[in-house]
Amino acid sequence: MKLCLIAAIFLLSIGVPLLQGQTPPSAKLTPHDFQVVEFRRYTVRDGQRENFAKYFEAYFPEAFQQLGAIAFGDFTEPEHPEHFTWMRGFHDMDERAKVNSAFYYGPVWKEHKATLNGLMTDSDNVLLLRPLNSTSQIPVLEAVDPVTEPGGAKGIVIAQIFWVKKGQIEVLASAMAEDFAKYRESGARDAGVLVTLEATNNFPQLPVRTDGPYLVWLGMIRDETVLNKLKPIAQSAAQRMQQSGLLQEAPELVVLTPNPRSRLRWIASK
């Protein structure tokens, strides 16, 4: 029994693979390996986004976690007041079907779906993604601690979304490697590089976009000062990539403000 307990504690201490030098020692990670990511951008009725976020954070993150999935983080977009954006992960596609079935036919969603659906005008803007490689997964940061983080999640999360021509994902990723390093030099921490997961949607009740492929870079930054340094660097990279012939249209730089309970956030190093 003691050996089992020691083994369990050891396993819980293991983190997901990190991007080079980008996660502070104070950011604890869970040991899960999430190879399927949904990047979900909802359109919410005018004036209802704050209410939607409160409902979402009150009822849903732990419900998905209890089923084996994870809510990486949830956000508002300052430049798009109608958007509520969140990301969730599954270990694989089979688990995605099982978890979504258990949740959307289960008691939590049954109780609250009328309220949440009534606040949304669109929930179909969803990218089905996977990590580019074993070192580019989204880190599962520790949950926001209501005692030690009474003000909730801090910082800013950035998503740069590239709509790529067929067969050019690896070429683009290689071409952007130097630019991603510049993002880090400006003060950003990598939070994942994701690409379209080419798989049949095995829970068709929830549509996903099929107009890809896409590459999504995620980063965490401390504040607006860092954002003002990062933006022109990212815009310059975007212009260069647009001229390269690798993209279907100009990349989108999405600024995300973490909601109070978002795991994906800025955590200062100790």
Answer whether the bond into residue 31 is a cis peptide, omega within 30°.
no
How far apart are the C-alpha atoms of 193 and 202, rounded to whole Å? Answer: 23
Could you give the CA distance from residue 64 to residue 90 in angstroms, rounded to a whole number? Answer: 10
Q: What is the pTM of this model?
A: 0.88
Tens digits of residue pLDDT in 93-122: 999 999 999 999 999 999 999 999 999 999
Q: In this predicted model, what pLDDT tens digit does every residue of 29-74 receive, in sequence order?
A: 554 799 999 999 999 999 999 999 999 999 999 999 999 999 999 9
- Among 3.30.70.100, 3.40.50.300, 3.55.50.30, 3.40.50.2000, name the CATH number for the domain at 2-258: 3.30.70.100
Instruction: Give residue 29's pLDDT.
Output: 52
Domain ranges within the chain, ordered by starting residue:
2-258
Helix (H) or strand (E) holding 66: helix 61-66
Q: Are strands 189-196 and 214-221 parallel, antiparallel or unpaired?
A: antiparallel
Q: What are the φ/ψ torsions at residue 67 (nearest 5 degrees)?
A: -90, -5
Report CA Rg, the chain.
Answer: 18
Spatial distance between the Cα atoms of 266 and 201, rounded to a whole number of angstroms: 32
Amino acid identity, position 15: G
Q: What is d(CA 250, CA 60) in angstroms, rounded to the nearest whole number? A: 34
